[in-house]
Amino acid sequence: MAFFDTVIRNGTVVTASDTMVCDVGIKNGRIVALGEHIEEGSTEIDATDLLVLPGGIDSHVHLEQPTSDGSVMADDFESGTRSAACGGNTMVIPFSLQERGESLLNSVQEHHDRASGKCHIDYALHAIITDPSEQALVKDLPEIVKGGITSVKIFMTYENMALNDAEIFRVMEATRHVGALTMVHAENFDAIRQMTERLERAGHTGPRGHADSRPIVVEREATHRAISFAELVDVPLFVVHVSGGDVIEQIEWAKRRGLPIYAETCPQYLTLTADDLDSMPTEGAKYVCSPPPRDVANQEACWDALARGVFSTFTSDHCPFVYASDTGKQIKGAQESFKYVPNGIPGVETRLPILFSKGVSEGRITLNDFVALTATNHAKIYGMYPQKGSIAIGSDADIAIWDPKKRVTLTQDILNHNCDYTPYEGMTLTGYPVVVMVRGRVVAKDGKPAGEPGYGEFVSRGRSSLVPDR
């Protein structure tokens, strides 16, 4: 009998720090050998001329999340993780949303129930707090942290979600107390509301109004405010979906002051612009997300910051709504204003190929940077390293084998999400994942699902590498 369950032979194995040609031996779902000419496996995969990378971890994903306006997310945990697998991911971290008035503990249990038995790949959860009651912060939060949900996200914008300054302060004090990581969506809600009313009065109600109602200054201001509170409370802070230069400047300002401030960016800020929102009379709604895509100069600022290591991770912020549906993004009838378009775009399947092609293939970042930004840093920051996020002895065999030469044109037809469009329609890329395995089992092949719902397991996370052990 073969010693290994699977051997991936002769591939170029890449980690966040090293690149080497070797064989990978997998047994009982874990990587147990790295070396030249290792023994036989029951299954042999020839990876000659291919790259063997840690499977992608997407730590910013929204699946089957409740909304307050009747819109319905296109992907649940089944379709969302299927789509993620086909795009080279072995793990996602979606959000568990606490609705106002709801118990934090209940909200987490609901999301566990939605996910359980559905996922194609492994998953964890972050907890969104919209109602920071005494019960939520003092009683429930320590419980959910014990249950392996060690990161909390707060919003500074959106009706029914935005926290005021005092609430932000209190959440940070609570996360400090339990050793959880605070993540923030930084945009100034009041300023956006005023800008929206002004645009509507002037008759600018088309999708472009979405971008014009929240220029980068509202993101910059909120980012600065969140950083300042984190400094006051003495907690690390993770700023999600940074969209351009003015905000990067704030992140770097904080880092220069020695503050533990970290950030991510997403494909939409590298490849889309606000002009996409008025590309067509109404179809610009397909590009409505917050923060909105900016302009070419801000795209360059994001690329530059990625290359210089300002961003710790690269995520999709997958938040899919069907376009042609009453519960989706199309602007219609009585609700004829951009403000009714649900915010968010699909991208869990396209995140890695876009960064690989435009980043690695076009020479803007190294392969090792790619691995750090798409897998290793997620595992460290969200408390799963080295079980996840690397190719090392003892780590889970979560592996994506890439063909760096494969040419793929992104179209809605080839994708596996439940959305009815991709914002990246027609984009031609070089490099695509060809085999994706989670704990040694193949879950996707050549961009198509090869696993089954329910194989993916919940990963209980430990303390973030960014959070000090006090």
Residues that bind Zn ion (CB under 5 A): 317
Helices (H) and strands (E) in the chain, counts: 14, 18
CB of 367: closest distance to Zn ion in angstroms?
27
For residue 386, whether the previous peptide bond is cis, meaning omega lies within 30 degrees of 0, is yes
CB of 262: closest distance to Zn ion in angstroms?
16
By C-beta, is 317 or 396 nearer to Zn ion? Answer: 317
How far is residue 227's CA from residue 184's CA, in Å, rounded to a whole number?
10
Amino acid found at 250: Q
By C-beta, is 187 or 317 nearer to Zn ion? Answer: 317
By C-beta, is 9 or 62 nearer to Zn ion? Answer: 62
Residue whose Cβ sits closest to Zn ion: 317
How far is residue 342's CA from residue 338's CA, in Å, rounded to a whole number?
9
How far is residue 413's CA from residue 283's CA, in Å, rounded to a whole number?
18
CB of 225: closest distance to Zn ion in angstroms?
19
By C-beta, is 317 or 369 nearer to Zn ion? Answer: 317
CB of 62: closest distance to Zn ion in angstroms?
6
CB of 209: closest distance to Zn ion in angstroms?
21
* Region for residue 443 given its phi and psi (left: phi exceeds 0; alpha: psi -120 to 50; beta: otherwise): alpha
The 10 Å CB-count burial string (b at 16+, else e) for 454-467 is ebbbbbebebbbbb
Amino acid found at 45: I
By C-beta, is 317 or 398 nearer to Zn ion? Answer: 317
Classify residue 127 by burial, with Cβ atoms within 10 Å: 0-12, 13-18, 19+.
buried
The answer to whether 455 touches 443, Cβ cutoff 8 Å, is: yes
The 10 Å CB-count burial string (b at 16+, else e) for 252-269 is eebeeeebbbbbbbbbbb
The answer to whether 129 touches 88, Cβ cutoff 8 Å, is: no
What are the start-end ranges of the E strands in 307-427?
Answer: 313-314, 399-409
By C-beta, is 184 or 436 nearer to Zn ion? Answer: 184
CB of 231: closest distance to Zn ion in angstroms?
24
CB of 243: closest distance to Zn ion in angstroms?
12
By C-beta, is 243 or 395 nearer to Zn ion? Answer: 243
CB of 250: closest distance to Zn ion in angstroms?
19
For residue 291, whether the previous peptide bond is cis, meaning omega lies within 30 degrees of 0, is yes
Q: List, in sequence order, the alpha helices (H) in 234-350.
A: 245-256, 268-271, 296-307
By C-beta, is 58 or 167 nearer to Zn ion? Answer: 58
